[in-house]
Each structure stands twice: as structure tokens, then as C-alpha cells.
Amino acid sequence: MSQTKLQSQEVEIKKSSENIFDFLTNLNNFEKLMPAEVSEWKSTDTECTFTLKGMPSIGFLIIEQTPYHHIVYKGIGKIPAEVFLKVAITGVNETQCKAQLFLEAELNPMLKMMVEKPLTKFLDVLAHNLAKINV
């Protein structure tokens, strides 16, 4: 097993870092960021589960947050490794911020090879949709 770190593109968002932080710390909102292939969505304020085409049910649980800057979600569900989704938010000014998503997991080389490209695409979709979000 080796530590795998993936990241999305950094996106500019025409909302304050406070708005984006508040949006992302309520996992009911995450459905708005998900790709179209997501089904069986269930969520509460602090936890969500869903199914991605061809994968078992997975989800996220908020485990750490630093207001307006940083959120860490732990992967839950039928995941073959410990997975963390991290969001870094950087305020630009009162009405604009930047955000970037990171995924960290302990994966064996074979699994890494299989999931690296689709997971990076998944992170980019989340980031792209976050940049367009209306909160």
C-alpha cells in the first residue's frame, strides 16, 4: 500500500470563503456538486452516501473543519481503503474565493492505477460545479 494523493484544479468562485465554507459543511448541499452518474443519494448535515455508476455505495462524513479555510471528510461505506477528501478555501476578497479539492488514500499499486483517472475526474467535476454554485 502507498499513500495516494490526488487533487482537482483550483477554481475561482464568485462567493465569499464564508459562504462556500457554510455550503460545504452542510452535506445536504453536496448533491448539487455531484456528477450526473450519482444515484441513491442520502444525506444529513454531517454525512452523505451515494452510488457512482459501477461502484459500491460510498459517502463522506465531516471529521474536521477550520472555519472559512479547511474541511476534511472521511470516506465511509464500502471503500477498500481509508479515504479522506479535503477542501482548501482561500479568500481573495469579500466576494470571491478560490477552492481546491484533495483526495488522500492508502491504495495498492493495482487499485491506484484503476482509480486514479476516474477519481481525479470526479474531483474536477466537484470543483467545477462548486465554482458555478449559487449560494
Cell of 99: 477552492
pLDDT recorded at residue 53:
77
Q: What is the homologous superfamily of the domain 2-132 according to CATH?
A: START domain (3.30.530.20)
Average pLDDT over all residues of the chain: 94
Report pLDDT for 57.
86
Which residue matches cell numbers 448535515? Answer: 45
| Alpha-helix runs per DSSP H in the chain | 17-24, 109-132
Under 8 Å between Cβ of 67 and 19: no
Q: How far apart are CA 11 and CA 89, in angstroms?
A: 10
Strand partners, 88: 70, 100
**Cell reading at 72:** 476534511
Side-chain-side CA neighbours of 107 within 13 Å: the count stands at 18
The answer on pLDDT for 78 being more than 90 is no
For residue 9, the model assigns a pLDDT of 97
Q: Is the pLDDT of residue 56 over 90?
A: no
Q: Are 116 and 3 in contact (CB under 8 A)?
A: no
Average pLDDT rounded to a whole number, residues 23-48: 95
Quick one: pLDDT at residue 15? 96
